[in-house]
Amino acid sequence: MSGRKDEFPFVVFILVSIALAAGIIAAGTLYYRNYKQDYRLEVERRLSAIAELKVNELAQWFQKNTTLHLRIPLESEDTPAVKAALGREGIVEGRDYRGVRVIADVRGIPDSPWFLVARMDASEAFGPMRERLREVIIMAALLPDLERQFDLLRTRMREGKP
């Protein structure tokens, strides 16, 4: 019977450790999701602000009869510039003329058939978010080792060893 009494604190310790580990992983996941959503909103806000500033400049530039020489075929529907030409406005994702994945804010220029595409490389936009995800993964990977260290400490304390 005394063997079962000695096992009870150990079982409770293991259950509490598992619950704490699950709680830390869940908290990290929720924190990452909120960070991802907040960061995406901030990127969209900045792109929108850039687009608002540049629309007026481009409206004046368009009135001077200036033309551009870059041509992108309309078959490249993954390109933000083509999405603009097809009438889509707002935040879009796609690949730019270099083939790089980008996030862009597409706006029409008033009193003209032109559109403004303010873009940012996705790697630049989501770099801090990836770093945060890496930190959460490292913490989750180190958690079992930390639990093992606590278990060794508890065992040493039970046996009376320093």
Task: Give tens-digit pLDDT for 61-99.
Answer: 555 554 555 667 777 788 888 888 888 888 888 888 778
- The continuous run of DSSP H or E covering 59 comes out as helix 2-62
User: Of 149 and 2, which is predicted with more confidence?
Assistant: 149
Domain range summary for the chain, segments of one domain joined by +: 2-159
SS3 72: coil
Tokens, residue 127: 């770099």
Q: What is the pLDDT of residue 143?
A: 81
Beta strand extents in 4-158 (DSSP E only):
90-95, 101-108, 115-121
pLDDT-based confidence at residue 161 (cuts at 50, 70, 90): low
pTM score above 0.95:
no
Kindly state the average pLDDT of the residues 13-23: 79
Q: What is the pLDDT of residue 56?
A: 60
Find, among 82, 86, 114, the residue nearest to 96 by Cα.
Answer: 82
Tokens, residue 72: 């992108």
Tokens, residue 99: 């083939």
pLDDT-based confidence at residue 57 (cuts at 50, 70, 90): low
Tokens, residue 145: 């080792």
